[in-house]
Amino acid sequence: MIAGTRVRVIDIIIEYDRLGMTLAEIIVAHPQLSLEAVHDALSFYYENRESFDSEISARRDNLRKVALKFPSKLKAAIG
């Protein structure tokens, strides 16, 4: 967690590194964060990249398993 907020570092990482959001977009999405806090979160990520990347990969795998177990009713209806 980023101190004094309910925003997780992993959320910032995903938004920045995986979704391609800019720092300005992240701050708009999380107005309780300062630019300094976002930089600190990204710095922490780059210092601990291997463990964060493993966690992100595990979460992605779990989401895929859930999606296979519970297919989207909307996708089925649309075709």
pLDDT in tens, 5-63: 999 999 999 999 989 999 999 999 999 999 999 999 999 999 999 999 999 999 999 99
Q: Please give the pLDDT value at position 79.
A: 75
Angstrom distances, CA of residue 35 to CA of 24, 26, 38: 8, 9, 5
Question: How distant is the alpha carbon of residue 44 from its chain centre?
Answer: 14
Residue pair 41/13 in contact (Cβ under 8 Å)? The answer is: yes
* 51 membership: H or E segment, kind and range: helix 49-69
Distance CA 52, CA 50 (A): 6
Q: Please give the pLDDT value at position 43.
A: 96
